[in-house]
Amino acid sequence: MHRFEVWAPTPDTVRLDVDGSLHPMHRGESGWWSADVDASPDARYGFVLDDDTTVLPDPRSPRQPDGVHQPSQLHRLDESVWTDSSWTGRQLQGGVIYELHIGTFTAEGTFDAAIERLDHLVDLGVTFVEVMPVNGFNGTHNWGYDGVLWYTVHEPYGGPDGLQRLVDACHSRGLAVILDVVYNHLGPSGNYLERFGPYMAQGANSWGQAINYAEADSGVVRRYAIENALRWFDEFHIDGLRLDAVHAIVDHTAVHLLEELAVDTRRLAAHLRRPLSLIAESDLNDPSLVTARSGGGYGLDAQWDDDIHHAIHAAVSGERQGYYGDFGSLQGLANTLRQGFFHAGTYSSFRGRTHGRPVDTRRIPASSFVTYTTTHDQIGNRAIGDRPGFYLSPGQLAVKAALVLASPYTPMLFMGEEWGASTPFQFFTSHPEPELGKATAEGRKAEFAEHGWDKADIPDPQDPDTFTRSKLDWSELGTGDHARLLDAYRGLLALRREYADLTDPSLDHVRIDYDEDARWIVMYRGSLRVVCNLSENEVTVPVGGSTLLAWEVPISDETGSSTRIPGHSFAILSARR
CB 132 within 8 A of CB 376: yes
The pLDDT score that the predictor gives to residue 577 is 58
Nearest to 239 by CA among 316, 335, 290, 175: 175
Residue 289: its pLDDT value, please?
98
Quick one: 516 exposed, middle or buried, by C-beta within 10 A (0-12, 13-18, 19+)?
exposed
Q: Which residues contact 238 (CB under 8 A, 6 or more apart)?
A: 167, 177, 178, 179, 232
**What span, in angstroms and rounded, lies between the C-alpha atoms of 207 and 185?**
7
**Residue 289 half-sphere exposure toward CB, CA atoms < 13 A:** 27
Q: What is the pLDDT of residue 451?
A: 66
CB-based burial label for 79 (10 Å; 0-12, 13-18, 19+): exposed
The torsion defined by the Cα of 494, 495, 500 and 502, in degrees rounded to 10, comes to -120
Angle at 153 between CA 152 and CA 155, to 5 degrees: 120
pLDDT per residue as tens digits for the range 278-319 = 999 999 999 999 999 999 999 999 999 999 999 999 999 999
* One pLDDT digit (tens) per residue for the chain, 577 residues: 899 999 999 999 999 999 999 999 999 989 999 999 999 999 999 999 999 999 999 999 999 999 999 999 999 999 999 999 999 999 999 999 999 999 999 999 999 999 999 999 999 999 999 999 999 999 999 999 999 999 999 999 999 999 999 999 999 999 999 999 999 999 999 999 999 999 999 877 878 788 999 999 999 999 999 999 999 999 999 999 999 999 999 999 999 999 999 999 999 999 999 999 999 999 999 999 999 999 999 999 999 999 999 999 999 999 999 899 999 999 999 999 999 999 999 999 999 999 999 999 999 999 999 999 999 999 999 999 999 999 999 999 999 999 999 999 999 999 999 999 999 999 999 999 999 999 998 888 887 876 667 777 899 999 999 999 999 999 999 899 999 999 999 999 999 999 999 999 999 999 999 999 999 999 999 999 999 999 999 999 999 999 999 999 999 987 789 999 999 999 999 987 5
What residues are labeled active site? 244, 281
The rounded distance, in Å, linking the Cα atoms of 358 and 285 is 8
What's the CA gap between 190 and 59, in Å, rounded? 11
Condensed to tens digits (0 to 9), the pLDDT of residues 233-258 reads: 999 999 999 999 999 999 999 999 99
154-175: b (≥16 Cβ within 10 Å) or e: bbebbbbbbbbbbbbbbbeeeb
Relative orientation angle of helices 306-317 and 394-405, to the nearest 10 degrees: 150
CA–CA separation, 332 vs 343, rounded Å? 10
* Eight-class DSSP state of 344: S
User: With helix as H, strand as E and coil as C, how does 265-283 read?
Assistant: HHHHHHHHCCCCEEEECCC
Q: What is the pLDDT of residues 109-130, one digit of tens each?
A: 999 999 999 999 999 999 999 9
Give the pLDDT confidence score for residue 209 in this predicted structure.
Answer: 83
HSE value, Cβ hemisphere, 13 Å, CA-based, for 325? 9
Instruction: Report whether 489 contacts 482 (CB < 8 A).
Output: no
In degrees and rounded to multiples of 5, residue 522 shows phi and psi of -125, 125
- Calpha distance 322→28 (Å, rounded): 53
User: What angle is formed at CA 93 by the lines to CA 92 and CA 97, rounded to 5 degrees?
Assistant: 50
Task: Classify burial at 80, counting beta carbons within 10 Å of its beta carbon; exposed 0-12, middle 13-18, buried 19 or more.
Answer: exposed
List domains and CATH numbers for the chain.
Answer: 2-56 (2.60.40.10), 426-469 (no CATH), 508-574 (2.60.40.1180)
Phi, psi of 99 (to 5 degrees): -85, 135
Q: What is the pLDDT of residue 447?
A: 79
The radius of gyration of the chain's CA atoms, rounded to the nearest angstrom, is 25
